Amino acid sequence: MSTSPTDPTGVLTDEVVLVDELGEPMGTMGKLAAHEAPGHWHAAFSAMLVDPAGRILLQRRATTKYHFGGRWTNSCCSHPAAGEPLAAAVRRRVPDELGLDVSDRPVRLAGAFFYTAHDPGSGLQEREYDRVVVVSDVDPALVRPVPGEVDEIAWTTMAQARRRCEDPDSVTPWFPTVLDLLAVHPDLHLA
C-alpha cells in the first residue's frame, strides 16, 4: 500500500467505492476484496499527463504491483475515496506514483467506460467504472517515478502508444480504451 503526503496512514487507498450500473456510488469495500474473483464493480480513474508539445506520459507499472505488474499503461491509475471529488483523487495519487505535484493543474474529464479484466498472474479480477482524465501542460523534467509504483516512464505520441497495444500482454487491459477516449478529443492537441 502506498501513502501520500495528504494521507500518511494509507487509509484512503484501503477501500474502493462500489458503483451501480450507472457508475453511481453505493458503498465501499476493501480494495483487495473488491478485486477477488468474481470482482465487484467499483470506481476508478485513469489519468493521462500531457506535456506542452502534446506528448503523453506512459508508465510501466512496477512489477511488484498487486495486479497487472510490469505492464505499460496511462500515466496514473487509481481509485477515488468515498466522497472524494475526482480531481482531488487525481491530485492525491499523481504525486504518489510520479513524484509530481499537479495541484495547480486543471483536471479535465475525457470520458468514462466500464470494463472487466482478469489478471492471470495474480488471479485478481477488475470490474471497474473507469473515468479518464487529462492533466495538461506538465513539465517532463519534474516527473520523478516512485519506486514500487512505477518501473519506467516514456513520453510518447498517440501513434507510439497505439503501437505498444499491438502486444496486448505488454499493456494493461484498460489502456487501449483510454487511448480511444483521448482520440475523440482533437481539442487536446495530442502529438
Q: Quickly count: other Cβ atoms within 10 Å of residue 35's Cβ.
A: 22
The catalytically annotated residue of 15, 97, 126, 128 is 128
User: Is 128 considered catalytic here?
Assistant: yes
Q: Give the pairing type, strands 56-61 and 150-156.
A: antiparallel
Q: Which three cell numbers stand for residue 105?
A: 493543474
Cell numbers at residue 40, please? Answer: 465487484
Residues 6 or more apart in contact with residue 147 via CB below 8 angstroms: 62
**CA 56/CA 95 separation, integer angstroms:** 17
Please give the angle made by the CA atoms of 4, 131 and 165, to the nearest 5 degrees. Answer: 95
Selecting among 76, 77, 97, 149, the annotated active-site residue is: 77
Catalytic residues: 77, 128
